[in-house]
Amino acid sequence: MALAVASMRWPPRGALLLPAQIAPLRRRQQHSGGRAREPRFATTVQALQERARPDEQVSNRQLFARLQPDPRTMERLDMLQLGSEKQGRFVRRRWFRYDEPDVKLPHIHFFAGAKSAASFPAATLPEVGFVGRSNVGKSTLVNQLCGALAARVSDRPGLTQQLNFYTAGDDFHLVDMPGYGFAYAKEEVTQAWLPLIEAYIRQRPTLRRVMLLLDARHGIKAGDRDFMDLLDRTGTKYQIVLTKCDLVHRIDLAKQHLLIARQTERSRGCVPRVLMVSGRQRTGLNDLRKEILHVCSLGQKYLATHKKKELAAQAAYHEQLRTFNDTARSSKGARSQEARSSEGSRGREARPRHGKASARDKAPVRDKAPARDKAPASTTRTARSSDGSREPRTRHGKASARDKAPASTARMARGRGPNGHG
């Protein structure tokens, strides 16, 4: 009887269920995979929309402008000169920069490629994988880490169509995976990439960490969110790396870093530290190299003296930064003091508070001679020369009508008679 009861199908086929019985059944189907599970993470756009109040209608650009970046992140970006700067014409530029000590990795070169799980090389060394959307800069980043053109790069998404393994001697392996999302490749080829990546993640026992690369201009998109969910389900340790940071303004990069860091807090397998790099400017690569060495348990071998050099370089940078800020403050104070002293010396000649000169502060008009010092009007208009003849010109440079010679006198002077005839 117990076996018969246990083997009975519930609910029976064709049975009518009450509303109280439907809700537990739906929850059970959802947990068992009968329905699509809601994603744990949110895209960057969804994270912005979550910050809006229910009763307001604002754009994503306005919501992004409201964000206040972390001051420590801004200080780090200023020190590394990561991200483009918004500077005006009259902003003082720094004459110094952070002299960051380089982290040297062993020689890295390509040694194997795999298009199926059966062609994976033997798992003998710790491995660090690089994955992300197509054309996010995976191969470029691998070349920058290697210090040579070990991987092929292209502007067309989808050039990497297999798992490429790079070896660093007897220390570790780097794995460049195909990108997910849009790619210039056949559909049957792109559809085989994600199962290949998932098989590698699930079956590889020496995989220490996956570096998930995100474009700093776009943040987390739908494909990135789904892949983060896959890494969480498989229990894989991963870390976010923002690429192409030189194409984003510095303050916007700090805001993007804040949004992504808050999303990673929801994950069980994500490392909370978000890295930022620029392959074009080769900035931020030392932090990524240090992470790789620590993950592969090689910190003692390659980073024994690096910490002391880094602390000394940071101390020198902060000392120069204090000098820069002090000189800027002193020069500004000297200019304001000079302006106040000049305003005090002028007294009433100073400009009013509205920034425009008043009528009485303007330059005075040329003083006119008093009436008793002026010459008579007739003398002014008809000044006489030394021989007693009249000067026909007035102050305007033209002779007046009464100062002109009579017409008869002018005719006689030209040899004509008073009647105009010769």
Per-residue confidence (pLDDT) for residue 35, from 0 to 100: 47
Per-residue confidence (pLDDT) for residue 42, from 0 to 100: 82
Which domains can be identified in the chain, with CATH numbers?
109-305 (3.40.50.300)
pLDDT tens-digit profile of 28-76? 444 444 445 566 778 888 888 888 888 888 888 898 999 999 999 999 9
Q: What is the pTM of this model?
A: 0.68
Measured CA to CA, the distance from residue 106 to residue 44 in angstroms comes to 37
Residues of the chain with pLDDT under 70: 1-39, 87-91, 148-161, 182-192, 331-422
Per-residue confidence (pLDDT) for residue 142, from 0 to 100: 84
